[in-house]
Amino acid sequence: MIGDYTYDQFFSILAMQGFAGLVLFSVFVLMALGLAIIFGQMGVINMAHGEFMILGAYVTWGTGLFVTNFAPALFPIYFFVAMALAFCASFTLGVFVEWAMIRHLYKRPLDTLLATWGLSLILQQTYRSVFGAREVGVTLPDWMMGSLPLTDIIEVPINGLFVMALTTLIAIAVALLMYKSRWGKQVRAVTQNRIMAGAVGINTKMVDRMTFGLGCGIAGVAGSAFTMIGSTGPTAGQLYIVDTFLVVVFGGAGSLIGTIASAFAISQAQSTMEFFLSGSMAKVLTLLTVVGILMLRPQGLFTLKIRR
Amino acid sequence: MSSTTSAAPRTFFGKDAIAFIVLAALILVVFPVALDIFRLNLVGKYLTYAFVAVGLVLCWGFGGILSLGQGIFFGLGGYCMAMFLKLEASSPENTAIQSTPGIPDFMDWNQVTELPWWWVPFNSFPLALIAILLVPTAFAYVIGAAMFKRRVGGVYFAIITQAVAAILTILIVGQQGYTGGINGMTDLRTLLGWDIRTDSAKLILYFVNAVLLLGVILIALFVKSSKFGRLLIAMRDKEDRVRFSGYDVANFKIFVFCLAAAFSAIGGAMFALQVGFMSPSFVGIVPSIEMVIFCAVGGRLSIFGAVYGALLVNYAKTTFSESFPELWLFAMGGLFIAVVMAFPNGLAGIWKSHVEPLLPRLMKRLRPPAIVSAPTKAPAE
Amino acid sequence: MTDAPANGPYTLNRRKLLAAMATIPALGMLGGSRAFAQDTSTAAVNTTGLAVTDTDVTVGILHSVTGTMAISETGSVQAEILAIEQINAAGGVLGRQIKYIQEDGASDWPTFAEKAKKLLVQDKVASVMGCWTSASRKAVLPVFEQYNGMLYYPTFYEGLEESPNVIYTGQEATQQILAGIDWVVDTKGAKSFYLLGSDYIWPRTSNKIARKHIEMKGLKVVGEEYYPLEHTQFNSVINKIKLTKPDVIYAIVVGGSNVAFYKQLKAAGIDLTKEAPLLLTISVTEDEILGIGGENMVGAYAAMKYFQSIENDNNKAFVDAFKARWGDGIVIGDVTQAAYLGPWLWKAAVEKAGSFDVDKVREASPGIELATAPEGYVKVHDNHHLWSKLRIGHARLDGQYDVVYETADLMEPDPFPEGYQ
């Protein structure tokens, strides 16, 4: 016996909490990846990140409605189409926003923070005017909603597995894109030394625009995936912002590895503490620990050497 | 902008003196005469945000430190005041129906049977006043020392202050037995036996608030025109050069951040007094960012602009949401973007570049009072 | 600052004067007969300077139409507008058409206080239908008490309050909780409970009452847990539920968290239709199911006083009218119905009092009966809450509830329950 639990139960707790922590980890990575790319590239926190996610969620909802009404046979697999569409929608909006707004503000990162906040307000109200103030329910194919029973206590939620798989896939894709492709080389060159990159013939403006679009597009996919675990409403994007920002800042600027490491640390801390403490206190303690560590090591876990 | 600010402090103080008199006349004479007590109380509320905005001008406009957590200090100041008022409203006679009379009602609802030790000092008005200034300033010092000593700034600092604001909100909401939770502290009635809910009390509080604000503005003007103010601007523009000149940059930043926190705290305390309650919704992220926009609209480099910004944005918010609630967020979002993209120096910038050149000509024809009413748009009844 | 307070009486005089001038020709045309029966001249029915003219009376609607609470409060606004339109179509109140001024609380409590003050002081509305969260009610309460307004508050809430300036048209905690727990114990044989809620006063107070009630029955509470509002990750608590194996999950999660909680519960393999454990909630109305999705909620039980599926003539007419006014796809939850009662209860009280004056309306309010309420017969208690029944709904796949139980008698509201403090 350990505490009130038998060994069997204790083992199950470990397994289930471990899995819950992994799911949370995936969720955090998915949320933060887009933001981290943009932050790393431009030194800017996109405050409208949550709203880009919700755009993806609404696209998923719309696709679901469309498929239910016009092509019910495709319903079981509509989610993949929806995710692709979500990426396209958020990517397009991201590119547009970069063109209309962000590119004028590269020299003033703090102002970008404020401008994107303004954008988030406008997007929220747009969603409210278009889709109504109420939350919309996204219907998922049945196969995505069940669980796989392993023992009588341990059950593995399929949507958790799905989020984990998706996160792995996207993380690998982004890593390949950033570190193996020609375009990724350009992005890293611009990040490290914008002027020199321009001098050697890289179209830095285009790189910026595509990076911002990519970051937003990933946010859209994340939003699409989160219809499985969360709500879709005009202000739902706000639910994620604090966590997301903290993950990125804790990880360190411009470092994808850092983002992943910090997402891991925060998610494990939170899910472990949630089990032993009450929910609210766990959240506060996690956040406090993160801020405490940031005070000791403000540059985050990992940092890139950047020439300014 | 910055070059004019720092290059000619003497002539600037002359202009500042005029601006100060104009503002004083506006909030001490024009508003009280022109507005009924309901609208005046609203203006009083807006002016409490002006405290925050003035603080932000110092630390953001001059110091280059953008804090997205000014709500923390506004809230802490407000809570300190509210705790005192709540204790006074919870006298054993008033709370006789509770299972433990003499403690605030929300404690009783949450089975707290004894006043927590950290509430006890708030039985005393002088101690509460000290706490209003001390607690937020000390908090700012801790944050500032940890961050600035390690040369954290810019976006990082903004995000971390924002996270602190989020934590504090969750903490206050979660500990409802001690803080009133999400409801906040409501139903604050008297200050040392004086009923703060009556119209006459509201009027007096308005003037107290106005005078305090003018005092804070004087302090801010003094800081700006002092050597410290010029150092601050130098630091914002080329931090390394100031550091290499032998100044301890971190200490200056900490000082200005603490000063801004103290200003915000006074605003928060006056808010609690005038509005009669305090809630965690002032501590969070959204109000903190809104407070930045007050400052940005007014002009981040202009102490007076910040006051007008706070008045204008809040007035717009009230009228807009009265007539077109759905459009309010569009307007607010648009305002954020417009200010940042088109008018980075806000109203004050527009004033300087467009109106001021015309002034000498106008001056010849008109006497100053006509100009007084020009930037303000007195709310019509 | 001497002229501002004088402003009030001045307006009053002007209003009275205008009213008096307007009444003279009106009386002349109607003849004296009506005036003898009941004096409904403006001067008589409005002695306190409210916004009442010969032809209309103004009330306020104060809800959030922006911000996070707009999700929940939209239904209340729609119900109140519908009730006002119906009353107007049926001839109004004391022969006057109701006009309403709608204000947006913006999900922000101080804004609620500011707007309440504006409605009372500037617009001089005769009553206000509004607020949703406890926090917004607590924020406006001092304003209503100071300026002597009348608030019709529609939400089920934690109790511990009894203001002369509020009529609570939703249930207070004991009305919603006690009978619900009795039912689950008696008919389902529940022995152990897991209490779960969002972290603020309503869930905490409700769970406190629930815990006392459960423990007084000699049964067990195996866990009690609160998560911050808008929390979206519930896997840990779901694991705890699986470990402690309670008979009943007693859930008071609100807002966007709801959606996350039920989706994750289903994904974790807890099938609510199997009732092992059974889930009883007091916070999920049909409105919330729209966002959660019927397939994630099916099988859960809810304890409330109203469900859209209640079968009686009042409700049928109400649902039809609501859909005709606001669209076919709309659903009606408990709070929406309670909000609908507000204008009707106010009308009845005004007519009983023969006056719009708040003091007279307040005096007339206790004992007001409404036989036409969609939930069935209701009556105002001396403590300003409503006598109402409790019903248990069983969630269906289509997002509606089947009513499986209904208390035989109306339950007495008891905002300060002895022994549950």
Poorest-pLDDT segment among A40-44, B334-338, C108-112, C329-333: A40-44
Please compute the mean of the pLDDT values over residues C47-59 and round it to a whole number.
91
For the record, the structure tokens of A110 come out as 């703090």
B320 neighbourhood in chain C, CB within 8 Å? none
Cis peptide before C203 (omega within 30 of 0): no
Parallel, antiparallel or unpaired: strands C192-198 and C220-227: parallel
How much is the pLDDT for A2? 53
- The predicted complex's ipTM stands at 0.82
Tell me what pLDDT residue C61 has.
Answer: 95
Looking at residue B94, what is its pLDDT?
78
C172 interfacial to chain B (CB closer than 8 Å): no
Query: Which residues, 6 or more positions from B380, have their beta carbon under 8 angstroms from its beta carbon?
Result: none
pLDDT tens figures, A221-275: 999 988 888 888 888 888 788 788 888 888 876 678 888 898 998 888 888 888 8
Question: Could you give the CA distance from residue B361 to residue B348 in angstroms, rounded to a whole number?
Answer: 20
Neighbours of B57 (CB within 10 A): 30
Asked whether the predicted pLDDT for residue C24 surpasses 50, the reply is: no
Amino acid B266: pLDDT = 95
Cβ-contact C156, C171 below 8 angstroms: yes
Q: What is the pLDDT of residue B374?
A: 42
Taking residues C375-393, report their average pLDDT.
93
B325 in contact with C, Cβ within 8 Å: yes
Main-chain dihedrals φ then ψ at residue C60, nearest 5 degrees: -110, 150
**Annotated domain spans of chain C:** 38-171+328-387, 173-304+389-406
- Mind telling me how many Å the CA of B67 is from chain A's nearest CA? 10
Nearest residue to A13 (alpha-carbon basis) of C227, C241, B145, B118: C241
- pLDDT band per the 50, 70, 90 thresholds, residue C421: low
Residues of the domain holding B178? 2-286
Find the closest chain B residue to C119 by CA distance. Answer: B322
* CATH number of this structure's domain C38-171+328-387: 3.40.50.2300
Shortest CA gap C70–chain B (Å): 11
Higher pLDDT, B71 or C67: B71
Over residues C223-245, the pLDDT tens digits come to 998 888 778 888 888 888 888 88
Contact C106, C78 (CB under 8 A): no
The rounded distance, in Å, linking the Cα atoms of B259 and B256 is: 5
Arithmetic mean of pLDDT, C111-135: 91
In a domain, B293, yes or no: no
A95 class by beta-carbon count within 10 Å (0-12 exposed, 13-18 middle, 19+ buried): middle
Query: Would residue B357 be called left, alpha or beta, if left means φ above 0 and alpha means ψ between -120 and 50 degrees?
Result: alpha
Q: Which residue has the higher pLDDT, A74 or C38?
A: A74
Biggest CA-to-CA distance, chain C: 79
Q: Which amino acid is at A181?
A: S
Tell me, yes or no, whether B307 lies in a domain.
no
* C287 close to A (CB below 8 A): yes
Task: Give the pLDDT of residue C18.
Answer: 43
Q: Which range, B343-347, B377-381, C321-325, is most confident?
A: C321-325
Average pLDDT, chain C: 86
Q: What's the mean pLDDT in C382-391?
A: 93
Full-model pTM: 0.84
Q: For C94-100, what is the mean pLDDT? A: 93
Q: Is residue B12 included in any domain, yes or no?
A: yes
Residue B248 lies in a domain: yes
pLDDT grade, residue C199 (50/70/90)? confident
- B234 against C419, higher pLDDT: B234
| Residue B253 token pair | 């930043």
Name the residue among B36, B110, B203 with its Cβ closest to that of C7.
B36
pLDDT in the model for residue B299: 85
pLDDT of B10 reads 47
| Chain C stretch 222-251, residues whose beta carbon is closer than 8 A to a beta carbon of chain B | 226, 228-229
Report chain A's mean pLDDT, rounded to a whole number. Answer: 84
Chains touching C (3+ CB pairs < 8 Å): A, B
Would you say residue B92 lies in a domain?
yes
Q: Which residues of C touch B325 (CB under 8 A)?
A: 65-66, 102-104, 106
State residue A188's pLDDT score.
Answer: 85
Q: Give the tens place of pLDDT for each residue, B176-227.
A: 888 888 888 888 888 888 888 888 888 999 999 999 999 999 999 999 888 8
Domain count, chain B: 1
pLDDT of residue A308: 41
pLDDT in tens, A23-82: 889 988 988 899 888 887 777 778 899 999 999 999 999 999 898 888 888 888 888 999
Is residue A149 classed as helix, strand or coil in its secondary structure? strand
User: Is the model's pLDDT at A88 over the cut of 90?
Assistant: yes
| B5 pLDDT more than 70 | no
Say yes or no to pLDDT of B371 above 90: no
Q: Is A278 on the interface with C (CB under 8 A)?
A: yes
Beta bridge partners of B120: none
Which residue from A minimizes the CA distance to B159? A245
Share of chain C above pLDDT 90, in %: 58
Tell me the pLDDT tens digit for each residue of B314-332: 888 888 776 776 777 888 8
- Minimal CA–CA distance to B154: which of C97, C50, A44? A44
**pLDDT digit string, tens, across residues B38-54:** 889 889 999 999 999 99
Structural domain includes residue B378: no
What's the pLDDT at C74?
87
Domain locations along chain A: 22-143+151-239
**Which residues, in sequence order, are CB contacts of C282 under 8 Å at separation 6+?**
C156, C176, C177, C180, C206, C252, C302, C303, C304
Class assignment of domain C173-304+389-406?
alpha beta
CB contact under 8 A, C229 and B173: yes
**Residue C348 reports pLDDT greater than 90:** yes
The amino acid occupying position C179 is A
Q: For a pLDDT cut of 70, what percent of chain C falls above it?
A: 90
For the stretch C241-252, what's the b/e string if a residue is b when 16 or more beta carbons lie within 10 angstroms of its beta carbon?
bbbbebbbbbbb
Least reliable range by pLDDT among A205-214, B96-105, B264-273, C125-134 = B96-105
Stretch C325-332: mean pLDDT, rounded? Answer: 90
Is the pLDDT score of B3 beyond 50?
A: no
Give mean pLDDT, residues C247-256.
90
In a domain? residue B159: yes
Chain A closest-CA separation from residue C277 CA (Å) = 13
- Residue-wise pLDDT for A284-293, tens only, equals 788 888 878 8
Q: What is the pLDDT of residue C387?
A: 94
C210 and C195 in contact (C-beta within 8 Å)?
yes
Q: Does C232 touch chain A (CB under 8 A)?
A: yes
* pLDDT, position B255: 92
Which pLDDT band holds residue C3 (cuts at 50, 70, 90)?
very low
Kindly report, residue by residue over C170-186, the tens digit of the pLDDT: 999 889 999 899 999 99
For residue B157, the distance in angstroms to the closest alpha carbon of chain A comes to 9
In Å, how far is A89's CA from the nearest CA of chain C?
22
* Fold: same for C38-171+328-387 and C173-304+389-406: yes
Alpha-carbon distance values, B179 to B29, C201, C206 (Å): 38, 11, 19
Could you tell me the CA-to-CA distances from A2 to A278, C224, C237 in Å, in that order?
Answer: 20, 21, 19
Return the pLDDT at C144: 94
B291 in contact with A, Cβ within 8 Å = no
Model confidence pLDDT, tens digit, residues A107-127:
888 888 889 989 999 999 899
Predicted confidence at residue A252, as pLDDT, reads 76
Instruction: Identify the pLDDT of residue A250.
Output: 83
Contact with chain C for residue A285, Cβ under 8 A: no
Across the range C59-72, mean pLDDT stands at 85
What are the tokens at C170? 């939703």
Candidate from A23, A160, A231 with C-beta closest to C291:
A231
Q: Nearest to residue C67, comparing CAs of A186, B336, B321?
A: B321
